[in-house]
Structure formats: structure tokens, C-alpha cells
A and B are shown apart, each in its own frame.
Chain A
Amino acid sequence: MNAARTAPATASDLGPSCGPEEHCITCGDQAIPMRVLGVEQPGGLAICRELSDVLQMTGIAGETVDVGLLADVSAGDVVLVHAGTALARLGPEEVEA
């Protein structure tokens, strides 16, 4: 399981956990699609959650993501996140179940 995906916002408190079988997405070139739950500051920070159904069932509130690279992000948008920063917005045709 991907450690980064299940980590709470205060992951640093848990100590290192990226083992050889796990995949540290922040060390690599990986990005994951997340849905914007709410924007804290326009052009700044937003609370986002992964699209994974499993994570939605866990009730994790979401992670803080910097959306400063994208214009006009609003709740409901799906963005591609790497290292806590949204790099691109995904069109609705890409994410519909």
C-alpha cells in the first residue's frame, strides 16, 4: 500500500515509513488525482481528497494542497497532485466513474 496515500496531514510525526515495497510518490515523478473539497484561500491552499473509494470510506477529512499554480480552482474540481501541489486540472471526462 502506498504510504503517502494513507498518511494524515501530520505525516512527519509518524517517522519514516517508505519501505522497499512501498512507493514514495514525493521522491518520484508520480502524481495522483484528488478532488477539491474546499478552497481555503483563493489562489492558495485547498483541502483535497483522493478519488479512491476506500479512502472516502475511512472518513479522512482531506489533505492540504497548494493550488497556486492553477487558476480558479473551486470545490468539485479534480486536480493532479504531486508533493502537496496541484500541477494540472483534469477534465470531467477523465474522472467520471
Chain B
Amino acid sequence: MKFVDEFRDAGLGRVLAGEILTTVEPGRHYKIMEVCGGHTHSIYKYGVDDLLPSNVELVHGPGCPVCVIPMGRVDDGIAIAHEPNVIFACFGDMLRVPGSNGTLLEAKARGADVRMVYSPLDALRIAKQNPDRDVVFFAIGFETTAPSTALTLKRARAEGVENFFCMCNHVTIVPPLRALLDSPDLRLDGFIGPGHVSTVVGARPFHFICADYERPVVIAGFEPLDLLQAIHMILRQLSDGRCEVENQYTRVVPYEGNLRALEIMAEVFELRPHFEWRGLGLISQSALKLSDAYADLDAELRYAVPGVRVADPKACQCGEVLKGVIKPWECKVFGSACTPEHAIGTCMVSPEGACAAYYNYGRFAREREVV
């Protein structure tokens, strides 16, 4: 399959790795952040970081939709799930994210009707099959996933489905990036831009990184050669003294994004004044809620939710991992108290999370190094 196979070609990968080696300046240390959790997963899965010179460091960013959901929001979801007439639908990884009193999966074990879905459309289908129950879809994700929720809410309204509701936790990618760039404890040289978010929002929203912070951005695909090429493009920009938004993922990402998706999102959602991000704290205008026109489908208005901010467990250092300040293995509980099977922090729950990706693919190589 051409779309995938040629972007995993080992020979071309070696060529690119060689070109990266000739582009870096000896003695200079490069810190490049991959914003998207999908990139983090690919980097560890394919060992992309092993192909880089030792002075090129990849820093994992906040772009894992599950990892950034704070415990308080999980608690709110569980409260709705326990309402007597509710079927609570959400994506698979979200079921295992701990709140202050367990996970949605444990709520299911205690009797709540929690069901895993692969798309908002699945949740709408459940609503049609159960007209006498309320179906609440726990919506998470960046701009990649938000259009899917928006389309489904429009569809529910158009089809007259009156028992479908949404607890909206959609977040936007630019505000956390700005927060990271403003953070004094992190110095980054460039960014690997999120590929599928950019399919929706296009390249334009990332120009502020060049204009305001003078850092290069290269939007990249998810195969190993995509990542190597994007890293090479960033290093070339740094070497040439350029600072631009470049698009490595042109086979999928148009410069303007998907205008229809942006229109529908603008109709169905509006920005929250602020939203709590795990590890990053409250960030202004960084998340979406249902617009006034769709307020009757908003589960948070239909049901009473605690709405309490809950501090992360003291041992958990997800916040520092999400900001790229520490590596997963530098967390005190990584691989001991916190594993994918018994996660303390969100970064270990989702395979998109840096800790889980590193736990699943990278830890053995590191153990070899130590020996």
C-alpha cells in the first residue's frame, strides 16, 4: 500500500539519518518537540530517536488528548455515568483514566452503564437503539476529533434524536503551545507540528510560533520517514537561519485545512473562558463547549456535575512529562507503581502518552544501555 509502505523504507531511512547527521552542528544541542501524541507513539514504536545524533533530543509535547484531561473532569463524567437513566459512551483509552475515585471502567463494574465506542456515530446509534434512555457521549480530543463530534450533534438534531447529549472536553492545540513557549523552564529549538490536527486547522495557526517566538515548525505525517524528514527540515531551517512553518505532510494537509470542518465547529462549539489541563493548569480559551444553539444537548447543563478541581496524586509527574521538562523514565513512579496495567497518571494510560509509549517500546533499549 503506497500510502504507508514507502514511508517505512529502511534504506531511505538510513539516507535521511545520514543527511541529518551532516546537517547538525557539532557541539550544539538541539531540542525538538513533537507536539502530537501520535508522533510520540511512532517515534518509540519505530525507534526513530535511535537514528538521530546524540545532540538531537526529542521532547514529548502535550498533544495526547487523554493525557491532558484532569482528574476533576473524569469525576464529572463518572457522576453523570451513575445517573440512573444514562448510557455513558466514550473512547477506549478514556475508560482507564483515573479520577479521584477510580476510573470509568470501575464505575462500570459498580453498575454504571458505560460503553466504549469508536466514534460519536457509534454513540448516536446507541441513542437510536435506546430511545427511553439518555445517551451521553464523553467527547475528548483536539481539532482532529472535534469535527466528528460536531457533525454527529448536527446529525442528532437533524434526525430528531432527543436522547443524545454530549459532555464536551474538546481542546485546542495552539493555547497549550503558547503556554509551553512562555514557560521559563523549557528551551526548545523547533516543533514537529501535528499532522492530523493540521488536516482540519491547516498550517496558518502555527505561524505565531515563528512570528512571536522565532522557532521553526514542520507539520509532519506519522510514518518513520515522515518524522525523519520533518526533523531534517527543522534542522535545515536552523542551519540556514530560517524560521518558517513548513508542511512535510502535503499528501494529506492542505494549507487552509478543512474549511467545512472549521465552519461546522464554529457553529456547534464556542471557546470556554478557561479549561484545566493536566500538568499545565488553567489555560484561557483552550477548550470548547457547546454553543448556545446546541446548549440543549449539553450534558453538563442537563445533569449536576461536581465541577471540582482535583489535584493530581503527589507521586505523579505527568505535568512535567507533558511539558517535556522530564523524560518518562525520570518520573519517580515510572515502571514501578505506575504501569499501563495500573496507571497512576494519564501519560501511562493512553498509548499516545509518552510514558506508555516509552514503557511499551523504549525501556528495553535503555536497559541495554545501562547494562
Contact = CB atoms under 8 A, between A and B. Distances in A.
B196 to A, nearest CB: 5
Interface stretch (B15-23, B88-96, B290-298, B319-327): B88-96
Q: Which of the listed residues A21, A27, A51, A53 has the most CB atoms from chain B within 10 Å of its own CB?
A: A27
Nearest to B114: A16
Given A52-B1, A83-B119, A24 B92 contact: yes
Contacts of B4: 33
B351 A84 contact: no
A53 B254 CA distance: 28
Given A4-B118, A95-B3, A97-B2, A12 B151 contact: no
A37 interface: no
B93 A27 contact: yes
A31 B253 CA distance: 12
B200 interface: yes
Contacts of A27: 65-66, 91-94, 140-141, 350, 352
Interface stretch (B34-42, B240-248, B266-274, B300-308): B34-42
B356 interface: yes
Contacts of B1: 33, 51-53, 95, 97
B340 interface: yes
Given A7-B118, A27-B350, A12 B195 contact: no
Interface in A10-68: 10-12, 14-24, 26-31, 33, 44, 51-53, 64, 66, 68
B64 interface: yes
Chain B interface residue number, banded: 35 or more
Interface string A61-97: 0001010111100000010101111011011011111
A91 B251 contact: yes
A28 B3 contact: no
Contact of B95 (A16, A20, A68, A97): A16
A16 B92 contact: yes
Given A7-B118, A69-B151, A28 B37 contact: yes
Nearest to B143: A29
A34 to B, nearest CB: 11
B197 interface: yes
B163 interface: no
Given A66-B152, A82-B145, A87-B144, A26 B91 contact: yes
A84 B122 CA distance: 8
B147 A87 contact: yes
B309 interface: no
Given A12-B122, A27-B94, A88-B199, A80 B252 contact: yes
B62 to A, nearest CB: 12
Nearest to A16: B116
Contacts, number: 180
Contact of A23 (B197, B253, B351): B351
A59 to B, nearest CB: 19
Interface in B168-218: 194-197, 199-200
Interface in B82-100: 89, 91-96
B9 to A, nearest CB: 15
A29 B63 contact: yes
Interface in B333-348: 339-341
Given A87-B147, A95-B2, A29 B36 contact: yes
B229 to A, nearest CB: 16
A96 B1 CA distance: 7
Contact of B65 (A28, A94, A96): A28
Contacts of B356: 20
Given A23-B352, A69-B260, 11 more contacts: A12-B117, A16-B92, A20-B359, A29-B196, A30-B196, A51-B3, A82-B145, A83-B91, A84-B118, A87-B261, A88-B199
26 contacts: A16-B116, A17-B116, A20-B339, A26-B91, A27-B91, A28-B41, A29-B36, A29-B37, A29-B65, A29-B144, A30-B222, A31-B144, A31-B199, A66-B148, A66-B152, A69-B258, A83-B144, A85-B119, A85-B121, A87-B199, A87-B200, A87-B258, A95-B1, A95-B2, A95-B3, A97-B2
Interface of A: 3-4, 7, 9-12, 14-24, 26-31, 33, 44, 51-53, 64, 66, 68-71, 78, 80, 82-85, 87-88, 90-91, 93-97
